[in-house]
Structure 1
Amino acid sequence: MNSVSQSRRRRLSAAAVLGAIALTATACGGGGGSGEGDTVVIGYTGPLSGGGAAYGENVKVGLEMVIDDLNADGVEVDGNPVTLELKSLDDKYAPSTAASNAQRLADQDKAPVVVSPNAGAIKAIQQINSGRSNFLISAYTSDPAIMQADNPLTMMIPPNFESYADEFSETAMEHGGKKLALLGTESEYGQQWTKSIKDAWSEAGGKIGGDNSVDYATVSDFAGPVSKALSEKPDAIFVGGPSQPTALIMEEARKQGFKGSFLVMDQAKLDEMATVTKIDNLKNSVGVLPVSEYEDPGTKDFLKKFAEKAGEKKVPTSETALNYQGIAIIAKAMEVAGTTDDPEKIREAIGQALPEVDDKYKVNGFPDEITEQGHLLNPNLEATFLDEDGKYTKVPIEQVSDDK
């Protein structure tokens, strides 16, 4: 009786040990030694509701596309397969909310990288990403202040917007004249653009009228501001904010008889605006080059996949394409660094990773270097001029320094 009882206790004890081992293995399934591999969260905080929802959704689509493609191709870090997972949080364009979202993604979801597409939000996140929580910011903004912050864990994706000012001014003058009206958006970013254009236009020998900037987010009737700007009889008008209101301002200017040229800030996309207004209203404009006009190795396939995902009527923007490239670069940097959870090593590996990224992920002016500050640089940056025939002509752009 006693012998049977002892034998039974031994069997139960062995079963308990085996069960504990099994539970431990299950709990550590994402820890690097499992044959099933790790799941790594790519965090995203952006405007997914309210006035900026369309912009935020453009970014999100690019992230979804690249994560699907990377998982299909296979990501392997330090000999282990890795599955990428996107977790998105809505910040409604509020910097404080974006910072809270980023902290949550890093702390709760263990995201080694958080994507943010808003300069104000990025500046807020830079206050918290290199301290109690360490994570890399994939920064989608062309505001050079992001690099001037000297944050060691920031990767800036688009070109510095100040690079465009000189060439935009020269091109607009060639196709218009010397008198410029200002009708940009009143946002902080819009006013930075306005100042940059004013400086470049003046240096090129042009004259500038009054500042008729308008709040693109709240104003819906642009007849008054446009009329005021046109009363100065300009040869060219600087416009820009989100694509939809920018298109409506340009349409209103044409309705009121404006025949000159437009300088369009990089937030607005000419091909996207052509879905809002007739292309005739957009002709004689200088702006950023549409994604469809790029000739990178992966551009055609990217456009096809985008149409399948978003629909034929939806226009792929640089928000979609550049964030697609950005995460492909980070995934390759993880492979090069041999880690998914050390943001410092991932950031350090980006330069080495760039030439190793597969051609399929090169879709929108792929960078060939990253500066010490963390800015990805495309060696062949181009803008475009939409001529009177509705054709795009590429305009080479020389990139300026991010230093103050």
Structure 2
Amino acid sequence: MPSIQPCRPWQVFLIFLRLGLTSFGGPVAHLGYFRSEFVTRRQWLSERSYADLVALCQFLPGPASSQVGIALGLSQAGYRGALAAWVGFTLPSALALMLIALGIAGAGQAMPDGILHGLKVAAVAIVAQAVWGMGRTLCPDTPRITVMVVASCWVLLVPSAWMQLGVIAVAGVIGPLIVKPDKLADRDALPITVSRRAGLYWLTLFFVLLLGLPLLNAFWSSQVLSLLDAFYRSGALVFGGGHVVLPLLQAEVVPSGWVSNETFLAGYGITQAMPGPLLTFAMFLGASMQSAPSGWLGGLLCLIAIFAPSFFLVFGTLPFWEQWRRNLRLQATMQGINAAVVGLLLAALYQPVWITAIVQPQDVVLVLVALMALMAWKLPPWQVVSMCALVGWWPAR
């Protein structure tokens, strides 16, 4: 196993800042960048240990690539290293999305209608690719395909954030009844040490906020508490990767009138063209709020709220992971949840993505071309999003 040469927090920040500026392509691509940087080049950990760390972060709710980065920073420079890794990896796309959101809000219509429509069409292709890829991986057999379809039908017929949570809970109960995971071979211990007592503190904080914020908001309702509750809950329940935040956030911010559906989909499309984590979309939404807090304050509030659960979960679960990852029943529970997550994303592909973006035959043609560019030609998402925005803008010239 490689020897680990600890870094200082500022060194961790610079390493992840470069990755945050160049890591296009979504969570799976980010994990590839990390492997090249930290296993092959810097040898911070072994191939097997890296695979274990990725497995842990995919097992947890939240953005897997950001959680892997937080854990890597923690291994090098403690809690300050974890924060430095997250800031470096998140800062470029968060700042860009903030400036774009402020431009749209300040000008009223900073982008032409054609570009906004092209971005919404691009979102259709991006989500469709995510549904296809996740479905092939997470729903490989008839029982899990059934869970996926039932979950999709359920949330389409009864659209609400709480119904989505109910779907996830039921799928978790069903998982051990329909899935029989294989036993895992012995693995190297993860090169990160956090005491079990500290881990329990972090897990307690995670659940206290998850359950306490809705109660506080119910008794002392305010815009700030409502935003903290909505974005923290979304960040805490994003099973399956950053794409799954789309239906959760849409159910929170659009019906409440915080952000219009057009702005939501345009921002989601713009986010695909950014490097770094997809959950920086929260920065755009917070800055685009139609009531205070908005702008820089709203963006930072929503960004911190949606990523806070990732810190708590990584810090809280690392001390117990060696034991948990050998629990076959827990693996089966997560596999059932993952199948339901694909169903949620499939439902989101129709509502709100498809019905608000596809209004004429030309839009279907553009979606098909975008899908071919993503899945057959293997173009990076930022190029496909740029192409769709340009095509949407060109006829309006």
TM-score calculated relative to the size of structure 2:
0.26
TM-score calculated relative to the size of structure 1:
0.26
Structure with greater Cα Rg: 1
